[in-house]
Copies of this chain bind each other. A is one copy, B any other.
Amino acid sequence: MTAPTVLRLRADDTLAQRLARSAALRAEGFALRTADVAGWLTQRARAHHFRVERIALNDLDGWFFATDTGNLHHHTGRFFSIEGIDVNHNEGAIRRWQQPMIRQPEVGILGILAKEFDGVLHFLLQAKMEPGNRNLLQLSPTVQATHSNYTGAHRGTPVKYLEYFTDPSRGTVLTDVLQSEHGSWFYRKSNRNIVMETVDDVPVDDDFCWLTLGQIGELLRYDNVVNMDARTVLASCPVTSAEPGALNTDMELRSWFTVERSRHSLTAERVPLADIEEWKRSDFTLGRDDGRYFRLVAVAVEAGNREVTGWSQPLFEPTGIGVSAFLFRHFGGVPHLLVQAKVEAGFLDTVELAPTVQCTPGNWAHLPEPLRPYFLDVVRVAGPDRVRYAAVHSEEGGRFLNAESRYLFVEADEAQAPLDPPTGFRWATPGQLNNLAQHGHYLNVQARTLLACLNAGTVRLDPTR
């Protein structure tokens, strides 16, 4: 029996055009001019009292190291914990190690509210303080909330605009996908990456402003302005790239990914933090004698515009600046990025697609040249004629302290990045990666930052001549 129901087109063909129109508006939108955003951020910072200072691990308020395991927990059992993991991998330069990991089984919401003004999509971003950011305030999604935030574990003020992301009837979903966070630091963490469009008349709070995709793209040229959460949400926006073809069909690319995910054997077993090998706890840090990778530290925060006005928390502090770079080339006139199927111990399933180079170079300096990351030197020696994009961005400032990476797009040639790349690498077009980003756990968070720069028109990969 046929019910008289109105069907809808399965895909909204107009969305890609609407995103392109928003990306084309770069100097100004409905609200702030792009050039005025830096001043607005400074003004928002002044309006609040933000102070972050390092404290001793034992001075963490509300947190405790469990007597049996040495794991670091919040007294409520919520938020997140720091535990140990023991990792075994069947290949690579380092095949067995132990390390601290952040365990936060709950799924957070990274949501950007969208609305058309004068026929152009705008995105509501927030000037948000995160204690781990060197400059504290960056542009973040409309809502950036852990489950503890939005169910009230903070006992603070309600999360603004949250209702748009918990009640589907409040708008039209433009993207909504579970994506991983840093697999080297988080144990199987994922967050919802959502863009919701509304036609409501939305009151704009002092710490929020509407920007076009093009304006955000321009701001991505600057260091430490657009935060990681905003970048990853924008990476999942379904833009389209006009690509007449690709080196590999979509099916071949997915098949290669399936093979890569299958061939790696990785176990990451939870172990007590107190027992992990080569890590030592002192008053202010839990770290390694060789100074590599990262250390666990603690900070006390005073803040005015957060859900609560003051708190202390642990953070991971990397011991060097990272490099995340896509090498790109043109084949048949179409730009291709060299993606890497990268193993990270905290991933839900062995590998995700990463930039060509993703590492903290200092962590590899002690190893002989053949064991260092592929293509790192190609990126390191690239002159300005080859560097199409370079900016320093912060990783999640709510969990990481001064965790900065230099993000680059670097043009390469056959000698530097061959058509037939080493095992674990494959050429893919921006359009192919954008399609994969509509599904969870294909692209890692670093690749998504670079993809956001493509989606927002920050970098164009046109041939140089």
Q: Is the CB of A265 within 8 A of B2?
A: no
Q: Which of A1-25 contact B (CB under 8 A)?
A: 1-12
Q: Is the CB of A258 within 8 A of B192?
A: yes
Q: Is the CB of B178 within 8 A of A11?
A: no
Assess A10 versus B250: contact at CB under 8 Å? Given A332-B2, A348-B349, A463-B1.
Answer: yes
Q: Is the CB of B175 within 8 A of A251?
A: yes
Q: Is the CB of B255 within 8 A of A173?
A: yes
Q: Which residues of B contact A251 (CB under 8 A)?
A: 11-12, 173-176, 238
When chains A and B are docked, how far (Å) is the Cα of A66 from the Cα of B319?
Answer: 43
Assess A249 versus B419: contact at CB under 8 Å? Given A258-B192, A262-B178, A331-B3.
Answer: no
Q: Which residues of B contact A177 (CB under 8 A)?
A: 254, 258
When chains A and B are docked, how far (Å) is the Cα of A258 from the Cα of B111?
Answer: 13
Tell me whether A39 is interfacial, beta carbon within 8 Å: no
Q: Is the CB of B267 within 8 A of A105?
A: yes
Q: Which of A326-354 contact B (CB under 8 A)?
A: 329-334, 348-349
Inter-chain pairs besides A2-B332, A7-B334, A168-B255, 7 sampled, C-beta below 8 Å: A8-B248, A10-B249, A10-B432, A174-B251, A176-B254, A176-B255, A238-B251
Please list 27 pairs of residues, one from A and one from B, whose beta carbons are closer than 8 Å in the complex, sorted by A's number: A1-B329, A2-B331, A2-B332, A3-B331, A3-B414, A5-B331, A7-B245, A7-B331, A7-B332, A8-B245, A8-B249, A9-B249, A10-B429, A10-B432, A11-B249, A11-B250, A12-B251, A168-B255, A168-B259, A173-B251, A173-B252, A176-B251, A176-B258, A176-B259, A178-B261, A192-B259, A194-B258
Assess A249 versus B12: contact at CB under 8 Å? Given A1-B413, A178-B262, A333-B2.
Answer: yes
Q: Which of A281-320 contact B (CB under 8 A)?
A: none
Q: Is the CB of A245 within 8 A of B10?
A: yes
Tell me whether A131 is interfacial, beta carbon within 8 Å: no
When chains A and B are docked, how far (Å) is the Cα of A329 from the Cα of B5?
Answer: 11
Q: Which of A168-199 contact B (CB under 8 A)?
A: 168, 173-178, 190, 192, 194
Q: Is the CB of A6 within 8 A of B332?
A: yes
Tell me whether A75 is interfacial, beta carbon within 8 Å: no
Tell me whether A397 is interfacial, beta carbon within 8 Å: no
When chains A and B are docked, how far (Å) is the Cα of A464 from the Cα of B256?
Answer: 43
Q: Which of A187-234 contact B (CB under 8 A)?
A: 190, 192, 194
When chains A and B are docked, how far (Å) is the Cα of A143 from the Cα of B464?
Answer: 48
Tell me whether A431 is interfacial, beta carbon within 8 Å: yes
